[in-house]
Amino acid sequence: MYNPKSLKAEEFISHEEILETLEYAEQNKNNMPLIREILDKAATRKGLSHREASVLLACDDENVREEMYALARQIKKDFYGNRIVMFAPLYLSNYCVNGCVYCPYHHQNKHIPRRKLTQDEVRAEVIALQDMGHKRLAIEAGEDPVNNPLEYILECIDTIYSIKHKNGEIRRVNVNIAATTVENYRRLKEAGIGTYILFQETYHKESYEALHPTGPKHNYAYHTEAMDRAMEGGIDDVGLGVLFGLELYKYELCGLLMHAEHLEAVHGVGPHTISLPRLKRADDINPDEFDNGIDDEIFAKLCALIRISVPYTGMIISTRESMEVRAKLLELGVSQISGASRTSVGGYTEEVRPTDTEQFDVSDQRTLDEVVKWLMEAGFIPSFCTACYREGRTGDRFMTLLKNGKIHDCCHPNALITLKEFAEDYASEDTRRLANEMIEREMANIPTEKIREIARRHIEEIENGKRDFRF
């Protein structure tokens, strides 16, 4: 039975509720009065339910789609301004005991060399990342209780935070590791992590079990209930995601929004982020063997729909996607992107991007400087800000600021201050010039005068060699 407040996976992601929703959506996809009502509700910026979003997804009308896109653009602008937060993934270990059929790290794959970074290697990778200008990482690892136990992950987090190379430092470590226990989530929280990210891969239980035939990840309920355990362990910023291409996208959007509704209903705060990964080619993996791939048009529609359904949730897109796709999605709702990613263990210290241990093909292969410059040319402010969780603005405290619009007084100056650091320490000449012009221009958009003045002072202080200011 469907119950968003239940703590049982099969009740808050009810298969029957999803099937009924999809049928309802199909029946109402041309019901213009209902669609009008849903679009009007979306325009109030309070979000949409999984049923409402599913009706819009089913509707093929071009005018409706254009209105949806316009709303997504507006909501993005109102809540996130023109800032784009930058991050990089850091792969710690590709040892894995799971049998995920779409992932090259699956344990039967004998072609890829297995590797786990030593603490010295973590240090070298982090210095390489700091030297590009990164301040925020998402650490990634396969699941292997012997080779990558939680103690190993915790040790890596400590190492990462301890490295101060030149003016560099990693100020926020987000964690993307397999579902674990409340006690382990508590230890991750104590280690000072930012967001705990775990992709659901698919909400369809039967497919989930077939796609994860062996290993601890096979357990659908344990995986699906992970975010509740993470929150119980004190982590209040959690990141959801579906790996699009595994199952039917209409099913997945519905499941994803039900998961967000569940977190809100039980914990009073929805997901901090939603990632939008699509299945990619990789060693031993051919995406064409999966029947549910989605094209760029549907991908854009999903992005816009998520934006208007959960306006308070950040959206992430990785270098799995090309520059062109990223450009389109940035407008429609994405607020965070990775740059200059290497998806192999030890990849950042290699001269040439290693492809033999990559988790998936990287489509966007530009340097961080190139991505930063490109963003500014398109009118976006690349932000290296990590202030919120360091100031205790997590979970519902963050959401309250976002909902009442006060966040601009923090995020906007923080974006400019951290862009200034990037410009001073890491940018090429062209990028620095563009950054300085942008900072000058965008200063005027800090809402409160007093904050504007302090921000101006900080910019000067950064020019004089000081670092790490934040609101």
> Please, which residues have CB within 8 angstroms of residue 124's CB and are 6 or more apart in sequence?
349
Separation between Cα atoms, residue 305 and residue 262, nearest integer Å: 18
d(C-alpha 94, C-alpha 345), whole Å: 7
User: Residue 339 in contact with residue 319, Cβ under 8 Å?
Assistant: yes
**Dist. CA 431–CA 181, nearest whole Å:** 44
Among 217, 229, 262, 458, binds ligand SAM (CB under 6 A): 217
Q: Does 282 bind ligand SAM (CB under 6 A)?
A: yes
178 binds ligand SAM (CB under 6 A): yes
- How many residues at the interface with ligand SAM, by CB under 6 A? 21
143 lines the binding site for ligand SAM (CB under 6 A) = yes
Best CA proximity match to 276, nearest among 317, 309, 323:
317
User: Exactly one of 103, 153, 230, 257 binds ligand SAM (CB under 6 A); which one?
Assistant: 103
Closer to ligand SAM by CB, 229 or 420: give it: 229
* Residue 8 C-alpha from the chain's centroid: 25
Indicate which single residue of 76, 171, 280, 326 sits in contact with ligand SAM (rule: CB under 6 A): 280
CA 130/CA 108 separation, integer angstroms:
35
Residues 296-355 that bind ligand SAM (CB under 6 A): 320
Whichever of 343 and 414 has its CB closer to ligand SAM, that residue is: 343
* Spatial contact of 312 and 262, defined as CB atoms under 8 Å apart: no
Of the two residues 100 and 371, which places its CB atom closer to ligand SAM in the complex? 100
Is 153 a binder of ligand SAM (CB under 6 A)? no
Q: Is 137 helix (H, G, I), strand (E, B) or coil?
A: strand
Dihedrals φ, ψ of 387, to 5°?
-70, -35
Out of 93, 130, 176, 383, point to the residue binding ligand SAM (CB under 6 A). Answer: 176
Q: Which of residues 57-86 bind ligand SAM (CB under 6 A)?
A: none
CA distances from 104 to 9, 150, 199, 283, 413 (A): 27, 22, 16, 5, 41
Closer residue to ligand SAM (CB): 69 or 102? 102
- 325-337: burial string, b at 16+ Cβ within 10 Å, e else: bbebbbbbbbbbb
- Helix, coil or strand: residue 301: helix
**Residues present in the chain in total:** 471
Query: d(Cα 37, Cα 48) in Å, to the nearest integer?
Result: 11
**Residue 132 vs 345, nearer CB to ligand SAM:** 345
C-alpha to C-alpha distance for 199 and 275, rounded to whole angstroms? 8
Q: Is 362 in the site for ligand SAM (CB under 6 A)?
A: no
Which of the stretches 170-178, 256-264, 292-300, 434-442 binds ligand SAM when contact is defined by CB under 6 A? 170-178
Cβ 238 to ligand SAM, closest distance in Å? 13
Tell me: does residue 123 bind ligand SAM (CB under 6 A): no
Q: How far is the CB of 370 from ligand SAM (least distance, A)?
A: 23
Among 24, 161, 199, 290, binds ligand SAM (CB under 6 A): 199
Q: Which string of x and - marks every residue 241-260 that binds ligand SAM (by CB under 6 A)? A: --x-----------------
Considering the complex, what minimum distance in angstroms separates the CB of residue 122 from ligand SAM? 16
* DSSP letters spanning 256-284: HHHHHHHHHHHHS---SEEE--B---BTT
458 binds ligand SAM (CB under 6 A): no
Q: Tell whether residue 174 is a contact of ligand SAM (CB under 6 A).
A: no
- In this structure, the number of other CB atoms found within 10 A of the CB of residue 5 comes to 10
Nearer to ligand SAM, 321 or 409 (CB): 321
Nearest-approach distance from CB 341 to ligand SAM, in angstroms: 12
Closest C-alpha to 435, from 364, 385, 383: 383
**Under rule CB under 6 A, residue 222 binds ligand SAM:** no
Q: Is 279 in the site for ligand SAM (CB under 6 A)?
A: yes
- Rounded CA-CA distance 446/87 in Å is 23
> Does 238 interact with ligand SAM (rule: CB under 6 A)?
no
Element (H, E) at 54: helix 50-58
- Residue type present at position 195: T
The residue within the footprint of ligand SAM, chosen from 69, 312, 360, 384 (CB under 6 A), is 360
Annotate each residue in 390-429 with x if it binds ligand SAM (CB under 6 A) or - if it does not, as one string.
----------------------------------------
Kindly list the residues in this chain that would bind ligand SAM in the complex (CB under 6 A).
102-103, 140, 142-143, 176-178, 198-199, 201, 217, 243, 277, 279-280, 282, 285, 320, 359-360
